[in-house]
Amino acid sequence: MASADIAVPNARRSFAYRLPILGAMAREWTDGDPDFPLYVILALVSIWGIAITLFGLPALYLPAVVAAPLMVVMLVLITRG
């Protein structure tokens, strides 16, 4: 009976949980507070605002410049099915 009670963790999940910083975030995302995604979004927006304050206009439009090729790749993947 004891061998049946041992849960075998998912290899991908356990690897993600062992990463130093991202593992703690992954554990919190899956098992933690239900408001955690809101906190992550607020933290990212705050970091972006601080970057705009420090670096000015380039920090404001750099995410759009980076997102443009990603959207082209996304459109190609959608059209290929």
pLDDT in tens, 22-73: 787 877 878 888 888 899 899 999 999 999 999 999 999 999 999 999 999 9
- Domain residue spans of the chain: 15-80
Q: Model pTM?
A: 0.60
Q: Describe the crossing of helices 36-55 and 57-80 by its angle, rounded to 10 degrees.
A: 130
Query: Which amino acid type is present at position 65?
Result: V
Pick from 36, 59, 58: nearest CA to 47: 59
